[in-house]
A and B are shown apart, each in its own frame.
Chain A
Amino acid sequence: MNEKPEKLIDKKGLRLDGRKPDELRPVKIEVGILSNADGSAYIEQGKNKILAAAFGPKEMHPKHLSLPDRMVLRCRYHMAPFSVQERKSPAPSRREVELSKVIREALEPSVFVEYYPRTGVDIFIEVLQADGGTRCASITAASLALADAGIPMRDLVVGCAAGKVDDTVVLDLFDTEDKVGSADVPVALMPNLNAVTLLQMDGILTPEEFEKAVNLAMEGCKTIYTLQKEALKTKYMDVKQEEEVEE
């Protein structure tokens, strides 16, 4: 494993990977890449590589889990054994079960679940390579998978984290910063409605730092949101172009 670095931010104020404190990792998003799923998306955020697939809505199986007044979202967050440096057991860990729940609850407010009673939607998130901030990237991808499946939504949900390393509040922590740093604040946002659907914190922050971190994370969300929308539209760009030629 890597040596624990002494300083996470150098004299110039740059981070270990050369980013400024308020700079995101490069993000690449693709939509609709799995033909067997009803909707799918793939995201690369820095070294993170995550696939998300959505199935449904369909009849809920087993039936007793269905709800008479709304759709049930089921979510599985899973890390591939090869996603981390030391082989991870493929069995769902405590952390993965918790993240599945957290991601589901971050996505649920965006979906019109009350329109489709007694049905279920399954979301599968597969982390192929992890480098910190996978829950946020997973939310971004899963939301796109739902949109790609044609499920009506209030807004796309986008996730981004901020945190504190070496007494500086920074945006979008990567693995080392997450582990060595002193705090991590993941935020998920529905940008057009300005509604927060996920807010967690681990570590210690003063109220001022916390506010600064949340604001920074929300700014990050909005930046990723433009990329997210772009990715969804790109799939249909050829459609639009044909349109222009015609008229």
Chain B
Amino acid sequence: MPTFFEKKQVVTPGEVLAEGDYLAGENTYAEDNKIYASRIGLANCDNKKVNVVALRAFYFPKVGDMVIGTVLEVGFNGWTVDIKAPYTALLRASDVLSRAFKPQNDELSQVLNMGDLIVAKIASYDRAHDPQLTVGEPGLGKITRGQIMKVTPTKIPRVIGRKGSMISVIKQETGCQIILGLNGVILVTGKNPEDEELAMMAIQRIEEESHTSGLTDRITQFLKEEKAKREENKNE
């Protein structure tokens, strides 16, 4: 039962990763008792489960994912939302108003208009239907302030870090609130634009260097240095 790769080796689609008693994890598939890669990425074996951390991928909706989307269209009894997935998502009016929706009383474009950004969770999705969003939980809903940035969706786990270590460092050092949409859209809200700028610079750096180890330490150092620099500039 051999595996045919070294840890974190770059593999291409179709490459044989393992033979025999293994399980096909993310971005892999099994055929004829062999595990193959299905995307370009870094191979990993974790307790008989072979995974590939994809270097190139797109966001695909999953129930329960928190996403950040843009309102595309105000419809008759809801909104269509662009969530940077192969499907556009739907948000129903009754979900936002949290009461029965009456078309004669409510003007939907006054609640959410085209171009508005929202934080939402995916309430339902299956092969036959477009994903449906919900904003019926604390912290979800229309975004009123802060800055938006986009990263490759595969890199969101890296921004979070092991058990949230990376994201908590950034939050602590910059004092910003950061909401990570699993579709690769990130909302940064801070007390002032400078703090937001700093947090975004750090996230940018994570995206660029996401495949190196010891990144959390380097980001911590980077943030401290940047802050010191800014202090100096202020005092001058």
Spell out A's residues near B (CB within 8 Å). Answer: 38-39, 56-59, 68-69, 110, 112, 116-119, 147-150, 152-156, 190-193, 229, 232-233, 236-237, 239-240, 242-243, 246-247
CB distance from A52 to the nearest CB of B (A): 15
Neighbouring A residues of B58 by C-beta, 8 Å:
38, 57, 149-150
Residue B233, interface by CB 8 Å: no
Cβ-defined partner of A56 (8 Å) among B29, B56, B86: B86
Q: A225 to nearest B CB, angstroms?
A: 9
Q: A147-B12, A154-B29, A156-B14 are in contact. Are A247 and B213 (CB under 8 A)?
A: yes
Least CB separation from B152: chain A residue: A150
Q: How far is the CB of A129 from chain B (nearest CB, A)?
A: 27
Knowing A239-B10, A242-B211, A242-B212 touch, does A232 contact B40 (C-beta < 8 A)?
A: yes
Complex contact A112–B10 (CB within 8 A)? no
* With A119-B87, A150-B54 as contacts: A192 and B15 at CB distance below 8 Å: yes
Specify the chain B residue showing the minimal Cβ separation from A119: B86
Which residue of A59, A69, A148 contacts B56 across the interface (Cβ within 8 Å)? A148
9 pairs from A and B in contact (CB 8 Å cutoff): A112-B38, A117-B127, A118-B87, A154-B29, A229-B12, A233-B10, A242-B209, A243-B8, A247-B213
Which one, A39, A57, A153, contacts B14 given CB within 8 A?
A153
Q: Does B13 contact A (CB under 8 A)?
A: yes
Interface pair B86/A57, CB less than 8 Å apart: yes
B contact residues around A149 at 8 Å (CB): 56, 58
A192 touches B211 (CB 8 A): no
From A57, A119, A147, B13 is in contact (CB under 8 Å) with A147
Contacts of B57 in A (CB 8 A): 150
A153 to B15, CA, bound (A): 11
Q: Say yes or no for B27: interface residue by CB 8 A criterion.
A: yes
Question: Chain A residues with Cβ under 8 A from B86's Cβ?
Answer: 56-59, 116, 119
Is B123 an interface residue, CB under 8 A from the partner?
A: no
Q: A116 contacts which chain B residues (CB < 8 A)?
A: 60, 86
> Cβ of A239 and Cβ of B211 under 8 Å apart?
yes
